[in-house]
Amino acid sequence: ENIESEERINPNILITGTPGTGKTTLCELVAETTGLIHIDVGKLVKEKGLHQGFDQEYQSYIIDDDKIIDELEDKLLKGGNIVDFHSCEIFPERWFDLVLVLRTNNTILYDRLETRGYIQKKITENIECEIFQEILEEAKESYSSEIVIELQSNSLQDMENNSIRIEEWVKNWKSNKIQ
Ligand code: ADP
Ligand code: MN
């Protein structure tokens, strides 16, 4: 384990996955039960201008990795955050103690993205991203395999189970620190 994470009293968790898999909903729930601070990176990109403009064709911001890292570094070094983003390779590996990749069945994900009002091109792109499990592969390439876990996020029951599981994990992490 690296020096940075040994200095943290509270863990940092990354919740990643294709848009629509339920990252923000789960993070809000976990933030309430654990006291971890929810950082919605997509929202910060918009609010703080951590991008290089808007891509009209893909209807999304062209993110600025360096600006995002600079914005988050101090908070992450302190620990106690649950970070919510659809990509995971841009962050320094040392930041996270646990990386969770949410997964959703194609037809369920399609409905969620359609409800969200995404243009067809963006729906197709995200469904393909999920089919080819791109974010899971990205997470496995970017972080140690012991800390990367895939979680199903199809139903409210899944969300409840995931929330309880994360809450337990946080408790264990903290008690292992004290010993
Ligand atoms: P993300 O942040 O990954 O883009 P959201 O948390 O915004 O996803 O969720 C997208 C939509 O799907 C929301 O309407 C949310 O209520 C719903 N949702 C999220 N997770 C689940 C789940 N496990 N079961 C059922 N609906 C879910
Ligand atoms: Mn979100």
Over 70: is that where the pLDDT of 2 sits? Answer: no
> For ligand 1, atom 17, which residue shows the shortest CA distance?
22
Over 50: is that where the pLDDT of 128 sits? Answer: yes
Work out the burial of residue 156: count CB atoms within 10 Å of its CB; fewer than 13 is exposed, 13-18 middle, 19 or more buried: exposed
**Domains in the chain, start-ordered, CATH in brackets?**
3-171 (3.40.50.300)
Over 50: is that where the pLDDT of 1 sits? Answer: no
How confident is the prediction for the chain on average, in pLDDT?
95
Residue 44's identity, in one-letter code, is L
CA of 178 to the centre of ligand 2 (A): 33
pLDDT in tens, 104-120: 999 999 999 999 999 99
pLDDT in tens, 7-47: 899 999 999 999 999 999 999 999 999 999 999 999 999 99
Q: For ligand 1, say whether the CB of 155 is within 6 Å of any of its atoms.
A: yes
CA of 3 to the centre of ligand 1 (A): 35
Mutate to test the pocket of ligand 1, among 25, 38, 113 (most ligand atoms within 8 A of CB): 25
% of the chain exceeding 70 in pLDDT: 96
pLDDT band at 5 (very low <50, low <70, confident <90, very high): low
Hey, CA dihedral for 151, 157, 162, 165, is it positive or negative? Answer: negative
